[in-house]
């Protein structure tokens, strides 16, 4: 029930079992055999139990570390196969590989197709596009390479589909006479069959489709570059196409299909718009069209990029023209990473960098946005020859002309793997869709397939704990945004906001809980009648047994709206309530001694309670008036900086501080003389005198804090923007209240135990020397019990750090990083509770959540160790008394 009773009686309880045994051994016959036996059994059982506890804790620690370690490992090459495909190309083909690494498709820009088995390189029979005799002059593809666009000499464009289709077959549906390719795969010459679990076979084949001719561009003028993209949700798919012809004209066409969800009829709408032409002489080499079709990027041979803004479809404009690389350096490769936001550029000097389109108000571009080079990668030693993004995450490949291939991650800037084809002129690259393979094809038909394992490319120490500049963000920062419904989304896994949230919740709930709990404990142990204490303490302990989910629920749905409505009254209550209690105690002194002694016990406690209720009532009634006077009618607006100066709030903050300072100064200056003088007067006069003195102190401290507040306001200091700022309904103040309910009883009851167990003779000696109960409590009892009180606080703190349900329910779980008490937070523990059900086992998020657990473990471990060290020091000091 009381976890730390042994702390108060260290001399007796700690070495108890062995000591007892020794005594039993020294005086044979004194203890009965059964007692000695029971003693021994208990000794063993406790020892074994203790050892098991330590093993269990270490086991948990080791388990956590084991789960977390893979996050920090890069990638590994698990296998290499090299073969000669016998396919030669003049210009680099577009490669595609299916997710099982069965078939590789190589598509030349002229529309011819070759397929081969990915594991052995054996040529397979490939289907072909039928362009009715025409020859494509340009080709583009979507990010996943499933939709292609061909441009022709006569200005027409055709969409085409190239899908690697997968089917699951039962063995009886397998075609007869299959050739064995390797230990896994069979083939009928065109498709690849592989055995999968459950006595089934998987058939992977290439399927082509060709659509009707489109007339997007001016007829008769050859198309030199084309790109296409596919986007939208399943209910409203969109497809876009951009063409550049030899006259420099740029056309964009966007097709939106809207599926009637009831009738299944699709309404297709195609809009075409003409973009401003590219400058004369610019030879367009790269065309990039993101799936949202809100921008078009063109790049010419010299490395100049033209960015068109098409956010207003009817009025597109050329927003930016700039060189991405320094003059003299050619732009060899350019492409998007997954999500089609980050632009990767590889130069002829071997440099690789990522550009974001960012809002820079001082930019000289037409739309205020500009391309900013945000990431720099380990450069290649030779000119970059090709670049290939993965279909998963921000991983991408770059190859240089010396044959070196690097697998990198766009966010962590890390180089995950290094590969060397051992041959020159890698013509084409592809990453397997599941990020488990890399295929490189050389111009002479030589190919290498690397089997790779990069389970967690996106995490490194830097992305988890450092500032990261994410796509589209104006600057680097700490961000937690872990998951979303689409594959394009990049998880942002910085633990810093979560650690901050835990610290913030603990801090605010402790500055609320510690004074109340400690003062309550001192009062109960030193001043309160034993009988009342016998009632109060169990009631407080009952409070601790309230389930935290109930506290959180009440805090979120009842307390939060009430606090929001009465925020001014709540703030006022922090001042009015203590003032009322102090005022009432001065009034109490006017009572004749006989009466006050008779009312000492229950009546006094009831009166204190009444005073507290009266204080709350007063705060509630004067709340609106207070709000009018101090915050011009609305605290929420004031705190949002809509109106009002800084002085009123600063005044309120300074008031308690200046009160303490002024009263200390007063007692220093004339306290002794006042006391001597009061000794000569009657009790009634003395009471009047001390009340008057207090009134004077209050007046002076109001003046002092007023002056200080005005001074600070002049100096430009403002509380807003630091620990008070925009008011949000679910905020840390509410958490503080709710957590107070959970933490106060623990600190209170443990501290009270510690204080009560201070030997009575110390108290008696102090009182006998003429010290008042307050002096005895503060200067004798508290220091003696300090080690116990301190561990009470630490146990309360441990509870606050690990508390989950209150934080989940009562805060908005917003991963923000500011000290604003009127804003929410997202704590480590709450985050684990919220996100664990959605994480795939052994996935990145799953492991990061374990890391969050490990961090929490480390935090509590540090706190407890520190607490224990400090406690030991206090105890040693207390022992010397």
Per CB under 8 A, contacts with another protein among 542-571 are 557, 560-561, 564
Among 21, 123, 258, 601, binds another protein (CB under 8 A): 258
Point out which span in 206-214, 227-235, 577-585, 607-615 binds another protein (CB under 8 A).
227-235
CB 363, min distance to another protein, A = 14
Give the nearest distance from C-beta 391 to another protein in angstroms: 8
Whether residue 296 contacts residue 275, with contact meaning beta carbons closer than 8 Å, is answered with yes
Query: By rule CB under 8 A, what string of x and - marks binding of each residue 114-153 to another protein?
Result: ----------------------------------------
**Residue 492 interacts with another protein (CB under 8 A): yes or no:** yes
Q: Give the sheet arrangement for strand 76-84, strand by strand.
A: 76-84, 446-453, 437-442, 426-431
Q: Which of 398, 479, 524, 829 binds another protein (CB under 8 A)?
A: 479
Asked if 374 contacts 398 with a C-beta cutoff of 8 angstroms, the reply is no
- Pair of tokens at residue 155: 């200005």
Q: CB–CB of 488/391 below 8 Å? A: no
User: Is 841 among the residues that bind another protein (CB under 8 A)?
Assistant: yes
Closest approach, Cβ 817 to another protein, in A, equals 8
Does the protein bind another protein through residue 467 (CB under 8 A)? no
- Residues numbered 851-880 forming contacts with another protein, rule: CB under 8 A: none
Q: In whole angstroms, how close is the CB of 258 to another protein at the nearest point? A: 4
Residue 315 interacting with another protein (CB under 8 A): no
Residue 252: CB atoms within 10 Å: 21
Q: How far is CA 382 from CA 324, 404, 407, 415, 598, in A?
A: 19, 9, 16, 17, 97
Q: Is 472 a binder of another protein (CB under 8 A)?
A: yes
Query: Does 727 interact with another protein (rule: CB under 8 A)?
Result: yes
Distance CA 322, CA 515 (A): 62
Q: What residues numbered 607-636 form the site for another protein, per CB under 8 A?
A: 636
Q: Taking the CA atoms of 410, 415, 419 and 420 in sequence, report the sign of the dihedral they define.
A: positive
Cβ count within 10 A of residue 297: 23
Return the closest-CA partner of residue 189 out of 288, 122, 105. 122
Name residues whose C-beta falls within 8 Å of residue 646's C-beta, 6 or more positions apart in sequence: 709, 712, 713, 717, 718, 719, 720
* 235: contact with another protein by CB under 8 A: yes
99 in contact with another protein (CB under 8 A): yes
Q: Quick check: 27 binds another protein (CB under 8 A)?
A: no
Q: Which is nearer to another protein, 249 or 471 (CB)?
A: 471
Q: Which helix (H) or strand (E) holds 227?
A: strand 223-231
Question: Shortest approach of another protein to residue 639 CB, angstroms?
Answer: 10
Please choose, out of 207-215, 232-240, 657-665, 868-876, the segment that lies near another protein by the rule CB under 8 A. 232-240
Nearer to another protein, 234 or 869 (CB): 234
Name the segment binding another protein (CB under 8 A); options: 258-266, 323-331, 756-764, 854-862.
258-266
CB of 729 vs another protein, minimal distance in Å: 5
Q: Which of 229, 784, 823, 829 binds another protein (CB under 8 A)?
A: 823
User: Are the CB atoms for 319 and 365 separated by under 8 Å?
Assistant: yes
> Of 18, 47, 91, 260, which lies in the binding site for another protein, with binding defined by CB under 8 A?
260
Q: Which of the residues 636 through 665 are near another protein (CB under 8 A)?
A: 636-637, 640, 642
- Cα gap 857→874, rounded to integer Å: 25
- The alpha carbon dihedral of 610, 616, 617, 619 has a sign of positive
Nearest alpha-carbon partner for 176 in 200, 193, 199: 193
145-153, 481-489, 608-616, 738-746 -> range binding another protein (CB under 8 A) = 481-489
Q: Which of residues 743-802 bind another protein (CB under 8 A)?
A: none
Give the nearest distance from C-beta 155 to another protein in angstroms: 30
Least distance to another protein from the beta carbon of 77, Å?
A: 21
Q: How many residues does the chain have?
A: 881
- Which residues make Cβ contacts (< 8 Å) with residue 70, sequence separation at least 6? 455, 456, 847
Q: Considering only residues 266 through 295, tell me which ones interact with another protein, judged by CB under 8 A.
A: 267, 292, 294
Among the residue ranges 10-18, 252-260, 529-537, 852-860, the one whose residues contact another protein (CB under 8 A): 252-260
Query: Nearer to another protein by C-beta: 410 or 824?
Result: 824
> Smallest distance, Å, CB 405 to another protein?
24
Strand order in the sheet with 250-259: 223-231, 238-245, 250-259, 266-275
- Using the minimum distance from each CB to another protein, give the nearer residue, 578 or 843: 843
| Between 244 and 728, CB nearer to another protein | 728
For residue 601, the SS3 value is coil
110 CB burial (10 A radius; 0-12, 13-18, 19+) = middle
Contact call for residue 475 and another protein (CB under 8 A)? no
The single residue among 238, 332, 835, 871 that binds another protein, judged by CB under 8 A, is: 835
Whole-angstrom Cα distance, residue 649 to residue 874? 38
184 part of the interface to another protein, by CB under 8 A: no
Among the listed residues 1, 180, 262, 676, the single contact to another protein using CB under 8 A: 262
Residue 126 Cβ, how far from another protein at the closest point, in Å? 25
Contact segment (CB under 8 A) with another protein among 77-85, 536-544, 703-711, 812-820 equals 812-820
| Cα-Cα end-to-end distance for the chain | 29
Here the tokens at position 247 are 């006259």
130 vs 167 by CB, closer to another protein: 167
**Is residue 207 a contact partner of residue 139, using CB atoms and an 8 Å limit?**
no
Give ∠ CA 160-161-166 in degrees, rounded to 5.
165
For residue 405, list its beta bridge partners: 399, 419
Place of tokens 């951009």: 242
Structure tokens at 414: 């890390």
Instruction: Report the residue number, 608 or 834, with the smaller CB distance to another protein.
Output: 834
Binding residue (CB under 8 A) for another protein from 174, 834, 867, 870 = 834
Burial of 4 (0-12, 13-18, 19+ CB in 10 A): middle
Site string for another protein, 686-705 (x = CB under 8 A): --------------------
Among 465, 473, 620, 723, which residue interacts with another protein (rule: CB under 8 A)?
473
State which of positions 188-217 bind another protein (CB under 8 A).
Answer: 196-198, 200, 202
Nearer to another protein (CB atom), residue 22 or residue 236 = 236
Query: Which of 459, 481, 561 is CA-nearest to residue 844?
Result: 459
Q: Which is nearer to another protein, 489 or 620 (CB)?
A: 489
CA distance 5 to 13: 9
Report the alpha-carbon distance of residue 685 to residue 337 in Å, rounded. 84
Among 281, 680, 682, 837, binds another protein (CB under 8 A): 837
Q: Which residue has the tokens 């595609």?
A: 96
Three-state DSSP class for 709? helix
The DSSP line for 154-197 is TS-EEEEEEEEEEEEE-GGGSPSSPEE-SSSEEESSSSEEEEET
**# residues contacting another protein (CB under 8 A):** 76
Cβ 294 to another protein shortest distance, Å: 7
Does the protein bind another protein through residue 726 (CB under 8 A)? yes
Candidates 60-68, 155-163, 344-352, 488-496; binding stretch for another protein (CB under 8 A): 488-496
Beta carbons within 8 Å of 692's beta carbon, 6+ residues apart: none
Q: Which of 21, 373, 392, 462 binds another protein (CB under 8 A)?
A: 392
């Amino acid at each position: 029930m009381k976890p730390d009773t042994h702390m108060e009686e260290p001399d007796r309880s700690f070495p108890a079992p062995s000591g007892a045994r020794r005594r039993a051994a020294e005086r044979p016959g004194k203890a009965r055999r059964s007692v000695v036996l029971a003693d021994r059994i208990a000794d063993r059982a406790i020892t074994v139990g203790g050892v098991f506890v330590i093993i269990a804790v270490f086991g948990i620690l080791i388990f956590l570390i084991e789960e977390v370690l893979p996050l920090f490992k890069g990638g590994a090459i698990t296998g290499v196969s090299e073969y000669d495909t016998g396919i030669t190309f003049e210009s680099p083909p577009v490669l595609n590989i299916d997710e099982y690494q069965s078939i590789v498709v190589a598509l030349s820009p002229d529309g011819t197709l070759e397929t081969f088995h990915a594991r052995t390189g054996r040529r397979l029979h490939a289907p072909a596009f039928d362009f009715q005799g025409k020859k494509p002059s340009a080709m583009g593809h979507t990010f996943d390479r499933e939709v292609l666009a061909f441009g022709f000499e006569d200005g027409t464009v055709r969409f085409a589909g190239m899908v690697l289709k997968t089917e699951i077959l039962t063995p009886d549906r397998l075609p007869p006479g299959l050739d064995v390719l390797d230990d896994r795969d069979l083939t009928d010459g065109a498709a690849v069959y592989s055995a999968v679990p459950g006595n089934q076979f998987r058939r992977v084949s290439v399927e082509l489709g060709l659509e009707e001719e489109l007339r997007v561009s001016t007829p008769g003028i050859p198309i030199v570059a084309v790109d296409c993209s596919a986007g939208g949700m399943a209910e409203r798919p969109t497809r876009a196409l951009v063409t550049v012809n030899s006259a420099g004209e740029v056309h964009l066409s966007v097709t939106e299909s809207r599926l009637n969800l009831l009738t299944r009829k699709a309404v297709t709408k195609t809009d075409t718009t003409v973009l401003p032409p590219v400058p004369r002489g610019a030879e367009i080499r790269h065309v990039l069209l993101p799936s949202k079709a809100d921008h078009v990027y063109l790049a010419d041979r010299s490395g100049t990029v033209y960015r068109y803004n098409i956010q207003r479809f009817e009025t597109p404009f050329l927003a930016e023209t700039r060189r991405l690389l320094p003059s003299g350096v050619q732009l060899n490769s350019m492409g998007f990473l997954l999500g089609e936001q980050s632009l990767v550029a590889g130069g002829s000097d071997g440099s690789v960098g990522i550009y974001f389109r960012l809002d820079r108000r001082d930019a000289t571009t037409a739309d205020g946005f500009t391309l900013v080079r945000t990431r720099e990668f380990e450069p290649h030693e030779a000119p970059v020859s090709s670049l290939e993004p993965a279909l998963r995450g921000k991983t991408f490949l770059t190859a240089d002309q010396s044959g070196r291939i690097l697998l990198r991650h766009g966010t962590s800037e890390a180089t995950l793997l290094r590969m060397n084809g051992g041959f020159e002129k890698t013509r084409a690259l592809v990453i397997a869709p599941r990020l488990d393979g890399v295929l490189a094809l050389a111009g002479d038909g030589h190919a290498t397939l690397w089997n790779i394992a990069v389970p967690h490319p996106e995490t490194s120490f830097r992305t988890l704990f450092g500032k990261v500049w994410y796509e589209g963000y104006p600057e680097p920062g700490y961000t937690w945004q872990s998951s979303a419904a689409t594959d394009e989304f990049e998880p942002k896994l910085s633990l810093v906001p979560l650690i901050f949230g835990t610290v913030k919740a603990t801090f605010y709930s402790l500055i609320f809980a510690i004074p109340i709990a400690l003062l309550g404990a001192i009062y109960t142990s030193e001043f309160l009648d034993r009988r009342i204490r016998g009632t109060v303490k169990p009631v407080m302990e009952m409070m601790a047994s309230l389930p935290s989910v109930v506290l959180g629920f009440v805090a979120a749905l009842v307390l939060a709206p009430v606090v929001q409505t009465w925020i001014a009254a709540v703030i006022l209550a922090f001042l009015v309530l203590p003032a009322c209690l102090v005022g009432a105690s001065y009034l109490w002194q006017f009572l004749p001694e006989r009466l006050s002694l008779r009312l000492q016990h229950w009546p006094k406690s009831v009166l204190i309670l009444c005073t507290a209720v009266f204080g709350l009532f007063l705060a509630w009634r004067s709340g609106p008036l207070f709000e009018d006077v101090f915050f011009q009618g609305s605290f929420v607006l004031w705190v949002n900086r809509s109106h009002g100066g800084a002085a009123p709030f600063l005044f309120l903050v300074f008031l308690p501080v200046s009160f303490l300072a002024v009263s200390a100064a007063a007692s220093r200056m004339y306290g002794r003389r006042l006391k001597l003088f009061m000794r000569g007067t009657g009790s009634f006069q003395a009471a009047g005198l001390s009340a008057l003195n207090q009134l004077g102190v209050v007046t002076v401290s109001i003046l002092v804090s007023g002056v200080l507040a005005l001074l600070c306001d002049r100096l430009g200091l403002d509380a807003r923007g630091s620990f008070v700022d925009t008011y949000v309904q679910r905020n840390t103040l509410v958490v503080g209240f709710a957590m107070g309910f959970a933490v106060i009883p623990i600190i209170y009851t443990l501290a009270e135990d510690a204080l009560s167990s201070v030997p009575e003779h110390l108290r008696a000696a102090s009182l006998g020397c003429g010290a008042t109960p307050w002096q005895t409590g503060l200067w004798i009892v508290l220091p003696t019990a300090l080690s116990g009180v301190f561990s009470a606080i630490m146990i309360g703190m441990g509870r606050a750090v690990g508390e989950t349900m209150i934080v989940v329910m009562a805060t908005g779980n917003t991963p923000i990083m500011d000290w604003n008490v009127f804003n929410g937070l997202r704590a480590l523990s709450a985050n684990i509770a919220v996100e664990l059900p959605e994480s795939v086992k052994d996935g990145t998020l799953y492991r990061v959540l374990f890391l969050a657990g490990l961090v929490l473990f480390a935090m509590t471990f540090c706190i407890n160790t520190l607490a224990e060290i400090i406690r030991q020091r206090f105890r040693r000091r207390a022992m010397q008394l």
